């Protein structure tokens, strides 16, 4: 296990995505790759992914948050998570 | 008279040549254009020697080409075999081999991947993109000279073969004839009152039988089918707006997609002005989300459609009131030209309110059997056009065509996200790993996705959860891969030596409870 302290937010998001779709699928994904357009994850696994984002980072995602802008890439998700954590 | 599925296309093109048949992202084709494109695919396939009795794989992204390919395949007299374009290539190869494909319609990247795994699995055919050895490119298809099938095609020939999860670890192909498909389409057209100005959504992939209503139901009246863009499908608020903006009148999907809309779709802000029918099938729709959906989107009529791929939709129930939290939504009554009966353990038909037993479906909508598997066919199809569903139901009234309630399964089949998963197939994938000594896969009921799949494993040697998950991903579609694999020293057994699946399911439920 990596030390949680040293992990960047993008790494943490990457780890959550790996736990849903598998490390092999996420390995070649670059931080700014469009994960939905590249079919890294499909629509029927979105809820599971969002739930894991919520538990991992201790935040709540609602319908207005779950957009293709906030969730387009690992980087975008990390930015969204950071912004949300800064507010709370 | 339409005797074959592709006759629906021919008739729609004759009646409404300039009406939109299909919208796929920015692409849009009329019925005349789709008819012509399908003709060229058929001519190309006939030119390659494909005809009655052959199977042609469709292994490509959903779009105008894929739809023209499936009609073209049927027009050439062959059956189309849709293969999950995003699934593991090992599974695609297993299906291609099992079905002994005569040709495949795909793209250069996927053909290369398939050939790397099983050289004989991609014998030739058509590719979207640049021509490769043994394949004709989509551009070359456009230059095909018109050719008719060498032998006449009849309604008892196969129209398509749909692969579903198999309990032994080998996917099984449900062989559907033109007559089977049209029995279902005729029922759908009449009961749903499909009209030429309808716009049907297509959410399900082509290898999932829900897609046949979206495509062939629309063709039966010359209506429009709108393919849901995968990007929109993933973002519920965008999907809700897409449904409204696209003027969808008939929505059909698994309950998971609708639950997602209820939870994240901001539905109250969308008018859904055109939507008149909401259909769902594939698994039980949690009352909580269904009732909330009906309150948020009150205008359309709601239908619960029920039936395994082998029988097509065999019962239906119109939901007129939002269900109460603890009620059990009926699966309804038999579809037109179908007989649904309950049999006891001895296979004897039982009647009367409250009678419980296995649902058996009889009628021309019932599939021919499993492709290349006479043993399993004989077991589950005791007579022609008769299928033992394995679903346990209860009779709700004593009329001649009673309504039913779904109670559960007789075997190890569970539903997740609307998909069928044979737990045996999950276990077979785990057992394929050399460091698995014993394993059991269990379902954990979950409102959002139907069931989550977990596995318990007694390892032989050193292996990590990640290793086993990756091994599963190499063999199984994403929805079948266990969410967690829990290591135990030994698996609990019942007094008669079977794995204690009930106890494992209970501890699995406890585990997921802790993790969220």
Per-domain boundaries in chain B = 5-180, 229-409, 417-509
For residue B498, name the pLDDT band (cuts at 50, 70, 90).
confident
Q: Which residues contact B507 (CB under 8 A, 6 or more apart)?
A: none
Residues of B in contact with A24 (CB under 8 A): 470, 473
Q: Do domains B229-409 and B417-509 have the same CATH topology?
A: no
Q: Determine the average pLDDT of the residues in A17-36.
A: 88
Nearest to A36 among B234, B265, B481 (CB): B234
- The number of domains in chain A is 1
Please give the residue of chain B at the shortest CA–CA distance from A65. Answer: B264
Q: How large is the average pLDDT for residues A15-23?
A: 87
Question: A59 in contact with B at a CB cutoff of 8 Å?
Answer: no
Greatest mean pLDDT range, A40-44, A45-49, B289-293: B289-293
C-alpha torsion angle, residues B250, B314, B452, B234 (rounded to 10): -20
Nearest residue in chain B measured CA to CA from A60: B264
Among A45, A60, A63, pick the best mutation site for testing chain B contact (most B Cβ within 10 A).
A63
pLDDT tens per residue, range B128-173: 999 899 999 999 999 999 999 999 999 999 999 999 998 888 899 9
What's the CATH code of the domain at A15? 1.10.1200.10
Given a contact cutoff of 8 angstroms between Cβ atoms, the answer to whether B67 and B215 are in contact is yes
Question: In this model, does residue B481 exceed pLDDT 60?
Answer: yes
Q: B203 to chain A nearest CA, in Å?
A: 10
Closest Cα of chain A to B484: distance in Å?
A: 9
- B231 closest CB neighbour out of A21, A37, A63: A37
Residue in B231, B238, B470 nearest the CB of A24: B470
Task: Decide if pLDDT at A88 tops 70.
Answer: no
Cα distances from B373 to residues B180, B309, B337, B376, B465, in angstroms, run 19, 16, 27, 6, 34
**Which pLDDT belongs to residue A4?**
53
Percent of chain B with pLDDT over 90: 82
User: Across the interface, do A66 and B449 touch by the CB < 8 Å criterion?
Assistant: no
pLDDT given at position B331: 96
Residue A2: which pLDDT band, with cuts at 50, 70 and 90? very low
* CATH no., domain B229-409: 3.40.50.12780
Task: Tell me the CATH architecture of domain B5-180.
Answer: 3-Layer(aba) Sandwich (3.40)
Looking at the complex, does the CB of residue B109 fall below 8 Å from at least one CB of chain A?
no
Q: Which of A21, A51, A62 sits opposite B478 (nearest CB)?
A: A21
Is the CB of A27 inside 8 Å of chain B's CB atoms?
no
- Give pLDDT, residue B155: 97
Assigned CATH for B417-509: 3.30.300.30
Residue A78 belongs to domain spanning? 4-87
The residue assigned the tokens 């053909």 is B111
Enumerate the residues of chain B whose CB falls inside 8 A of the CB of residue A15. none
Place of tokens 């499936």: B70
| pLDDT at position B514 over 50 | no
Chain B residue numbers touching A44 (CB-CB < 8 A): 254, 256-257, 417-418, 449, 479
Does the beta-carbon distance from A24 to B473 stay under 8 Å?
A: yes
Q: Residue range B371-384: average pLDDT?
A: 96
Q: Is B417 on the interface with A (CB under 8 A)?
A: yes
Tell me the residue ranges of DSSP E strands in B1-151: 20-24, 27-30, 55-58, 79-82, 103-106, 125-127, 135-137
Which stretch of DSSP H or E encloses residue B453? strand B450-459
Structure confidence at residue B381 (pLDDT)? 97
Contact B188, B313 (CB under 8 A): yes
Q: Which residue of A has its CA nearest to B473?
A: A22
Give B367's pLDDT tier (boundaries 50, 70, 90).
Answer: very high
Q: Do A63 and B473 touch (CB under 8 A)?
A: no
For B102, the token pair is: 């005569």
List Cα–Cα distances, A51 to A56, B6, B239, B360, in angstroms: 9, 43, 19, 39
CB-closest option in B259, B264, B470 to A63: B264
Chain A nearest-CA distance from B223, in A, is 26
């Amino acid at each position: 296990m990596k030390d949680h302290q040293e992990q960047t937010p993008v790494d943490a998001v990457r780890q959550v995505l790996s736990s849903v779709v598998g490390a092999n699928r996420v390995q070649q994904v670059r931080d700014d790759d469009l994960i939905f357009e590249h079919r890294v994850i499909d629509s029927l696994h979105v809820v599971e992914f969002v739930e894991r984002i919520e538990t991992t980072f201790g935040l709540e995602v609602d319908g207005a948050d779950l957009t293709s802008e906030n969730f387009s890439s690992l980087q975008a998700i990390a930015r969204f998570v950071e912004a949300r954590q800064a507010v709370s | 008279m339409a005797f074959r599925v592709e006759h629906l296309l021919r008739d729609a093109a004759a009646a409404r040549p300039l009406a939109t048949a299909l919208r796929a992202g920015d692409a849009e084709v009329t019925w005349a254009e789709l008819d012509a494109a399908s003709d060229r695919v058929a001519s190309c396939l006939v030119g390659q020697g494909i005809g009655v009795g052959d199977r042609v794989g469709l292994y490509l992204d959903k779009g105008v080409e894929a739809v023209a390919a499936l009609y073209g395949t049927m027009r050439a007299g062959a059956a189309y075999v849709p293969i999950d374009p995003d699934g593991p290539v090992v599974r695609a190869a297993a299906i291609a081999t099992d079905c002994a494909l005569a040709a495949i319609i795909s793209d250069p990247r996927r053909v290369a991947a398939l050939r790397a795994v099983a050289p004989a699995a991609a014998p030739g055919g058509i590719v979207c993109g640049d021509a490769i050895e043994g394949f004709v490119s989509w551009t070359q298809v456009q230059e095909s000279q018109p050719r008719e099938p060498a032998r006449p095609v009849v309604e008892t020939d196969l129209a398509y073969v749909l692969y579903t999860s198999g309990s032994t670890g080998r996917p099984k192909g449900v062989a559907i004839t033109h007559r089977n498909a049209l029995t279902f389409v005729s029922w759908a057209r009449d009961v749903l009152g499909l009209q030429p100005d309808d716009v049907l959504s297509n959410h399900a992939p082509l290898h999932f039988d829900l897609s046949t209503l979206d495509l062939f139901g629309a063709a039966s009246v010359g209506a429009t089918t709108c393919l849901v863009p995968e990007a929109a499908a993933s973002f519920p608020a965008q999907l809700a707006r897409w449904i409204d903006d696209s003027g969808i009148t008939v929505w059909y999907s698994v309950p998971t997609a609708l639950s997602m809309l209820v939870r994240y779709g901001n539905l109250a802000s969308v008018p859904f002005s055109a939507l008149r029918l909401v259909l769902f099938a594939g698994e039980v729709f949690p009352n909580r989300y269904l009732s909330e959906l009906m309150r948020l989107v009150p205008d359309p009529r709601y239908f619960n459609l029920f039936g395994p791929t082998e029988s097509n939709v065999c019962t239906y129930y119109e939901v007129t009131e939002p269900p109460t939290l603890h009620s059990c939504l009926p699966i309804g009554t038999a579809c037109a030209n179908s007989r649904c009966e309950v049999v006891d353990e001895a296979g004897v038909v039982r009647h009367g309110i409250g009678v419980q037993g296995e649902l058996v479906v009889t009628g021309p909508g019932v599939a021919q059997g499993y492709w290349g598997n006479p043993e399993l066919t004989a077991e589950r199809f005791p007579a022609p056009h008769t299928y033992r569903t394995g679903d346990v139901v209860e009779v709700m009234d004593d009329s001649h065509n009673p309504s039913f309630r779904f109670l559960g399964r007789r075997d190890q089949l569970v539903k997740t996200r609307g998909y069928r998963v044979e737990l045996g197939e999950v276990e077979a994938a785990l057992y394929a790993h050399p460091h698995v000594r014993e394993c059991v896969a269990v379902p954990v009921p979950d409102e959002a996705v139907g069931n989550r799949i977990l596995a318990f494993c007694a390892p032989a040697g050193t292996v990590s959860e990640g290793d086993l998950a990756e091994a599963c991903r190499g063999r199984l579609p994403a929805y079948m891969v266990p969410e967690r694999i829990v290591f135990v020293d030994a698996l609990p057994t019942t007094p008669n030596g079977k794995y204690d699946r009930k106890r494992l399911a209970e501890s699995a439920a406890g585990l997921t409870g802790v993790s969220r």
